[in-house]
Amino acid sequence: MEKIRGFRVLFRALALTAALLAAPAAMGGVCLAGMVSLVFDDGLSSVYEYAFPVLTRYGLVATTGIIADRVDSGDPDFMNEKQLHELEKAGWEIASHSLTHKRPIDIPKFVAEEKCLLLKPIVGQRPLFEAKYKYEELAGLMENGKLLRERSNGKLVRDEPGSYYFDELIGEVLVHPFDPASAEKQQIVAISYEREMQASKQELSDRGFAVSTYITPHNYWTPEMSELSKRFYSQVANGGDTFNRKGSTDRYWLKRFVVHTNDTAEAIIGLVKEHAIRENGWVIFCMHGIGSDLGWEPWDAAKLGQLADFLKKKAVPVVTIDKGVKLWVEGKGKPGV
């Protein structure tokens, strides 16, 4: 009887200890083992102008997914190389968000499927060439290993060697090659999604960025592309509107919650409380523009400030995607706030 009573006492003590450990989490208290990542897709200039100062104020970092051909494109809606280096120096992660922001179902998937355009010279307008293109979108053109730059209209192409314009309405491409002989010999190819992943990383790396993460455009992903991505990246973040569980996380298919314009700070904080604090999961948020009307589903800077304040006060570790994988999947190091 004494032995049974002793077991009961021990069981109650263990149960009380477990309850005490769980209590802070159950009340939305300090995070025990979960963590959060903030990801800003598309590389919009509002991220540098508004999100960066807000997070810096709280000592927090983030990951930004960059569309490689928008860097220094002259479009003020996107961050330039100098701004991106400033973010990276402050501890932010610069990730690839593809070369031109296309989906694998809209363009050829693999390099082996890349076809040369059947270019024909435009009479009286040498060195301009044109061709029909069968896909809905054109990710880019490559001439003997060199990428051509996309332009918004045909007039710009006429004055710039190494450029092209794709008229989606009629499915025709206007090309001004670097060397007209390349077009005459049919040496200009439409690039594939495989090339999108490869070339975007290369272009960002050539600019001096340490790129190990791929952020899928439009949050669109397939098992086929996930397997292919392993050739170029250490991890990939997608969508899914759920969190990542310890022990069952696929580093090449990381799940993210998409933050929409009308989402309140309280609603987003609620996801942190439920999944990062109570369930000790890894919560990754997918955001776009901050504090302006730029981009898809922009979010208010004041709301980001509320979220950052909560994360700091509750000591929820905030990590970049690359750091998160090292902690979560590889078990290297400990998360800081």
Q: Please report which helix (H) or strand (E) contains residue 213, including its range.
A: strand 213-215
Q: Is 31 left (phi over 0), alpha (psi -120 to 50) or beta?
A: beta
Q: What is the pTM of this model?
A: 0.85
Q: Where residue 332 falls among pLDDT bands split at 50, 70, 90?
A: confident
Give per-residue pLDDT as tens, 176-219.
999 999 999 999 999 999 999 999 999 999 999 999 999 999 99
> For residue 217, how many other CB atoms are within 10 A of its CB?
22
Architecture of 30-104+208-328 per CATH? Alpha-Beta Barrel (3.20)
Q: Average per-residue pLDDT in the chain?
A: 90
The strand pairing partners of 102, in sequence order, are: none
Mean pLDDT of 56-80: 95
- Between 241 and 20, the more confident residue is 241
For the CA atoms of 325, 281, 333, 318, the dihedral, rounded to the nearest 10 degrees, stands at 80
The strand pairing partners of 132, in sequence order, are: 172
Give per-residue pLDDT as tens, 111-169.
999 989 999 999 999 899 999 988 778 999 999 989 898 998 999 999 999 999 999 88
Per-domain boundaries in the chain: 30-104+208-328, 115-190
Q: Residue length, the chain?
A: 337
Would you say 39 and 237 are in contact if contact means Cβ atoms under 8 Å apart? yes
